[in-house]
Structure 1
Amino acid sequence: MVVRLLDAVASDFASMSASDLKQSIASAEGRTVAMEAICTDQSPVEGVSHGEIGAAMGADIVILDRYDSLKPVIQGAPDWVIEDTAPLARYRELLGRPVGVNLIVADAEQGASLGGRLATAPHIQRIIDQGVQIITLYVRPKMGGTLDMMLESASTLHELGDNRVLLIGVPSFSKPAPRTEPQMRDYQYEVEALLQSGCDGIGLPMPGSKQGWEPAHAAQLIDAIHTQNGLAWLFLTGSVEGAPTSVMAQLALMSKQIGADACRLDEAGLSGMPPPENILAFSLALRGQRHTYRRMAASIRR
């Protein structure tokens, strides 16, 4: 039986397949907290990495932004992590948490500057070999990325991942929020297509952090995701992840009310991560002291 994420410890996370992790998150009933960090930036505390700070404050999952599989960098991590042929696997051991990265769908020529962050088959295989457990797949229309290209990348990831990588597809946020019926149908089509192409879940903007996104509209899309047996992730973005802690409590409760399975605090706080106190405040509001302090206190040797 898969351990629900609320009760999982480092040894549980280390042995989870993608389907196990998906079930573990789903069984936590909306009480999963993830954080994103710009791994090429210095963390706000010397001598440790962003992910270590986030894990200490109660984050269940750490997502690394700007991680380049061609030139791996995780600022603040020990040398033995980065010098290993599987740096993401070693970083997972260091944190005792699932670790993910962002990959970007773009035209090969226009997206050449992305390096190993570009979602090509060789880059996907390399990052899997480096030990990634979660991939968040984005598309950049301004770099020539299209939905069809994104669906192809999702299928490639699903095939190469072979149940080792949890795949979260992110519809483009560059188009208007789904405030009309045609706009909602457009988002619903994209959600369904991504899930049918191999995504395990869908990432959406958390209402309150992206202009025009209302709780009712997000809830409708979350219902569509759940109908397709996907995980619904809400991303706290737009620098609102750096708002006062009182805002974190409001957004956490709203996210649970509209049905989110997991919430991710993005990296635009200070020094390439959400403020540590906001991770704690969000977790306390979402799941209380009992589960928050257990996550903070549990040894990585468990």
Structure 2
Amino acid sequence: MKLEILNLNKQYANGVHALKDVSLTIGKGMFGLLGPNGAGKSSLMRTLATLQEADSGEVRLGEIDVLKEKDKVRGILGYLPQEFGVYPRSSAVELLDHLALLKGVTVSKERKELVAYLLQKVNLYEHRKKAVKSYSGGMRQRFGIAQCLIGNPKLIIVDEPTAGLDPGERNRFYNLLSEIGEEAILILSTHIVQDVRELCTQMAIMNQGEMLYNGTVDDALDLIQGKVYEKSVEKNSLPDYREKHDVISDKLVGGKPLIHVFAQQAPEEGFTPADANLEDVFFAKINQLI
């Protein structure tokens, strides 16, 4: 089964053109959708999750017309939005049982077994009687994945899942996503480059409603291999370097800015070749340097 998106457009009433002729084909496995905040990622995810209408375009999930056959999509969809609400006093068991009932698991014994299985899968079984509202950020995201998996979905969408998680929680979440990504089409929408580098082989970069790159992570890295140079500079000299060079990014290292620039050869004395990474690709694409 493949998810095929063709010339998808969405413009809101305030004039924001969130999706501009977006086209993608996504197969089984984990697909990373990378872009800054406001790039249009959430608009695309909400459209695929049947939560909003598109203005034009086509989306097909196998034989299903996603834009017209919303009930069919919802039957095989798992969706973890950037933020999701919970009933304040409901335990994980109670809430998953309720969600499973809404998803069509009407036999009580089957629901009980399913809920226990899902809580064990996301390592929350020992916390099953606690209110979900009391969970840490990482625990809540793992609960969110558990509810995604009700009904053995064929398409799973997770929107900014690791934002706000500490490194330990992020690593646990990576491992969980990697496991479930083997069984379905899983779209990981994020602005965190590390998420895509760690988890995905296929990816796209999006900005201002448009697709800037679509392909493999390795091919993306090849675009800038041997063309990124770095130099530690003084803070007050940053504007000059930005004027003279194609600066991809800068970050403080030891209290001084370390700049990465895109160039066919070493720009000047003091620059050394940098190990090109996916973050360089991301910023180079966003800044239209490649």
Normalised-by-shorter TM-score class: 0.3 to 0.5
Q: TM-score when scaled to structure 2?
A: 0.34
Is the radius of gyration larger for structure 1 or structure 2? 2
Task: Output the TM-score relative to the length of structure 1.
Answer: 0.33
* Higher share in strand: 2
